[in-house]
Amino acid sequence: MTNIDDGFPFQLVGIPDACMPGDSRLHLAAAQPPLSRGAVPVKGASLPYVIEGTGQACLVLGSSIYYPRAFSKDLRQHLRLAFVDLRHFAPSDPSIAPQEITLETYANDIEAVRTQLGLGKVIVLGHSIHGNIALEYARRYPEHVSRLIVIGSPPVGTRRMSELAEAFWNADASEERKRVMKRNWEGMEERVKSLPASQQFIQTYILNGPRYWYDPAYDATWLWRDVYANAPILDHLFGVLFKEYDLAQDPRPIVTPVFLALGRYDYAIPYTTWNDERRKLADLSYNLFEKCGHTPQLEVAVEFDRRLLQWLGRK
């Protein structure tokens, strides 16, 4: 991801303490040395990974750049976190078209990573849409997953979720939050459209901060620094694979124990959307975090770590 010109309000910056939300400021692992790094080859792509921490292995799906910034150094004292890019955050070989990628493709990619890294029976963690990918991997490879950690993930498809999120925003968001959103987008729509496709996704996410963060003015630019967004595969992921998603759409049940973490002020994936969906998971620990948006592992890191480690410690 490259810098935008000086007229753009969200510049790519370093990681000063002042940018850290809530109680996570003292727990940022910005200087955490990796145990190892590399890439796993899959059909049509190469998936980079970074491994940090010590303890039981936990495979963190999504991005090997974004997600190491989002989890505390304290958690690394208890878990060996293997952060891996999935196809939508990695360049693709022209030999494979987005339309060829299915949920089976994603599950097989994760299995290839687990096998090559020698992780054995592993905890699998996914935030946002990556939580759904984690669930679908566990549905297909239950013998290789000990626990699932699902954070801020939609229980329904993206089409329906868009409707539910908009209704929740209109009914629940404060006037100040809505004013910040309006200010963020003033004069920006055409400028965002003019960006390369890989940057449009990221800058839209940043500008939509009031929907994602408890602090509506929070600037998430630092989290996205150097992240590559594969726009055609992202479009396919959200617009096709998960458009009409249902937790019970597949007759194979998800039997792995699930730790579900949601933020009270998440306007992208409202916590209320899980009210009628929790019954579809056989073994679910439901965790709602107050004063928190879409990313509890960063916004309320101390409380998130405490609850998660307590759950992992149960037999």
**Which residues participate in catalysis according to the annotation?**
128, 266, 294
DSSP at 11: -
Residues near 53 by Cβ (< 8 Å), separated by ≥ 6?
32, 35, 75, 76, 77, 78, 79, 80, 81
Of 129, 181, 178, 183, which Cα lies nearest the Cα of 154?
129
The DSSP 8-state label assigned to residue 198 in this structure reads H
Cβ neighbour number for residue 225 with a 10 Å cutoff: 16
- The pair of three-digit structure tokens given for residue 71, joined into one six-digit string: 């989890």
Rg, Å, the chain Cα set = 18
On whether the CB atoms of residues 229 and 258 are closer than 8 A, the answer is no
Amino acid at 87: R
- Count CB neighbours of 223 within 10 A: 20
Whether 209 contacts 70, CB under 8 Å:
no
- Please give the distance of CA 230 from its chain centroid, rounded to a whole number: 15
Q: Sort 201 into a burial class: Cβ within 10 Å, 0-12 / 13-18 / 19+.
A: buried
- Strands of the sheet with 122-127, listed across from one edge: 36-42, 45-53, 79-85, 56-62, 122-127, 145-151, 258-263, 284-289
